[in-house]
Structure 1
């Protein structure tokens, strides 16, 4: 992997945010889904996508610890129209890369 591609990814340990979590959020409306865009400016949010399937939004979060993750989850749950939040904490990472430059 070239250093340019490798440099696109954050090293959670160096940032002091080692708890990698994927959140699947179900909302009651498109307006509620759009309201979640307010979290894109947060340093712990690495990715935010609207998705098809069991939820409406997928957020990749890299938090410092369980307390900071819990606080972040409480903020999301306070957004009007958020029906549910499912959290998937990554235990080990084996591959993380962006699109191939080919």
Structure 2
């Protein structure tokens, strides 16, 4: 992956709705050359999908919570599978430290969040949860393709 690929990814990350002609112009490439780069990035698995970013509040999901989930023994795969079936769970991260999972959960109300927590606590293998309601989000983004470590 060269610098042009990384710039292409950065442009797509900002606005994936741009045409190949628009992207090609910004990168000083022909549209067919740009199309070839996108195809290669998809084949390598770097570019997983083209998607849209939805506004959770506009959709009525005003409450965001980070939920730590502790499991009994080695039930992580089963718990992760069960958690993934809940549409209010947006992210599931298996982590090291004093908890097994960190979830990002959205709901319309605190009562709806309580219902989700109740469902999570009653999954087989779940020992306990700790919840942290987000008061304000200052930054929410994906990886920066222009940073090379």
Say which structure, 1 or 2, has more relative contact order (CA 8 Å, 6+ apart): 1
- Which of structure 1's runs of 4+ aligned residues deviate more than 6 A? none
Q: Secondary structure at 1:20's aligned position in 2?
A: strand
Q: TM-score, normalised by structure 1?
A: 0.86
The structure that is helix-richer by fraction is 2
Checking the alignment, whether the CA contact within 8 Å between 1:9 and 1:97 is kept in structure 2 is no
Normalising to structure 2: TM-score of the pair? 0.61
Equivalent residue, structure 1, for 2:135: 91
Query: Equivalents in 2 of 1:67, 1:41: separation in Å?
Result: 20
Partner in structure 2 of residue 35 of structure 1:
78
Query: 1:10-66 CA deviation, whole Å, 9 max, x = no partner?
Result: 3111221110000001111222x2222222133211100100011001110011111
Number of aligned residue pairs: give it: 99
> In the TM superposition, what is the alpha-carbon distance from 1:81 to its structure 2 partner?
2.1
Structure 1 equivalent of residue 64 of structure 2: 20
2:65 is paired with a residue whose SS is strand
Structure 2 counterparts to residues 1-102 of structure 1, below 5 A: 2-4=14-16, 8-31=52-75, 33-36=76-79, 37-102=81-146
Compared CA separation, residues 82 and 42, structure 1 to 2 (3 A): closer
Give the gaps of 5 or more residues in structure 1: none
User: What are structure 2's unaligned runs of at least 5 residues?
Assistant: 1-12, 17-50
Instruction: Tell me which structure has the larger Cα radius of gyration.
Output: 2
Q: Which has the higher strand share?
A: 1
